[in-house]
Amino acid sequence: MTTQVETTVRSPEAYALAHRAVDAMQAASVWPTPLNFELWLHYLGDPEGTLGQEISRLLATGAPFTDSTAEMLAAEFLPRGRLSEEIRDAGAVLNRELAAVAGAIDKARESQATYGNTLAEAADRMANSGTPDDLTDLVACLADATRRIRRHTAALERRLESSNREVTKLRDHMEQVRRDAMTDALTNLANRKAFDEHLLRLCDQAENGGGSLGLAIIDIDHFKRFNDTWGHQTGDQVLRYVGSVLGRVSRAPRIAARYGGEEFAVIFPGETAGAIEAALNAIREEIASRALRRRSTNDDLGAVTISVGFGVRRAGESAGQLLARADEALYASKRSGRNKVTAAAEAVSDAA
């Protein structure tokens, strides 16, 4: 699946996969464009996935693999492609609504101008009319003009109400698209992009407002063993389990994210080091307390443990510096036997 491929291309296996992708494209007479290369990485990384099966089907037909084919596959199966397609569709709807409103406004403007001319003519006729019949005709003319302008005004109001409803729906839809683009599909936590944005924003707020900010990096112990022994689907089951625990205990203002591969991150705004460490140990103990079973066969997978490193932001410290200290604390946990929580200050003293 996509998340597994993204993990692979950030590991030593990436070079072998890249070579395989280039060789496979050459064998299939597919040009090694950046988009084709990305598609082939996903195809070879997960040949049984939906994208892999669709590429296999297309290649089996013997039809040439064109740029339009690649764009179609990217729009359907790659997250960025789907997002771009959603944005293009939203733009088309918005343009259509704006054009309709502009047309309705133009008609209303014309009606107002015509009505103004009618009133001006009526004023001239009233000044020059002297008989009751003339005044009767004039009143009838004004009444007719008033009815027309009321119809046009009502039509404009209906058009504006309709467009307002459509734009509100569009805004809600785009907000959902934005949330989807910032969410990890496997764990339903914030993804790496959302995490980076939150961390930068919260570091700025802490610097300007003087509040505390904690950051934890969490790694599933021996995760590769799950994948190698039971397969990627079982590995995904483990990732979902850990993500569900983190999501449950990381309610706002805390932010839990899938950091990458088997790593997660939790941001702790406004909490002390002691409170953060207690929360992380509670998470670690809860995750390890449950023995998982493989869904397809009910095989016992044993307990899942995590190693954690965390740090509390220092005055003047950037997001990258805080991240580096938390990451170093994580590796201190791994070096000292795993299944433990290490504070960044402890990591510095251990390394000294």
Q: Known catalytic residues?
A: 262
Phi, psi (5° rounding) for residue 10?
Answer: -110, 25
309: burial class by Cβ within 10 Å (0-12, 13-18, 19+)? buried
Q: Closest Cα to residue 298, out of 234, 348, 347, 217?
A: 234
Assign 141 to helix, strand or coil: helix
Determine contact, residues 61/55, Cβ cutoff 8 Å. Answer: no
347: burial class by Cβ within 10 Å (0-12, 13-18, 19+)? buried
Give the separation between CA 193 and CA 83, rounded to whole angstroms. Answer: 14
Q: List C-alpha distances in Å: 71 to 61, 68, 80, 90, 194.
A: 18, 5, 11, 19, 26
Give the separation between CA 221 and CA 330, rounded to whole angstroms. Answer: 11
Q: Which residues pair with 303 in a beta bridge?
A: 291
**CA–CA–CA angle 34, 174, 165 (5° rounding):** 145
Q: Closest Cα to residue 287, out of 304, 309, 265?
A: 304
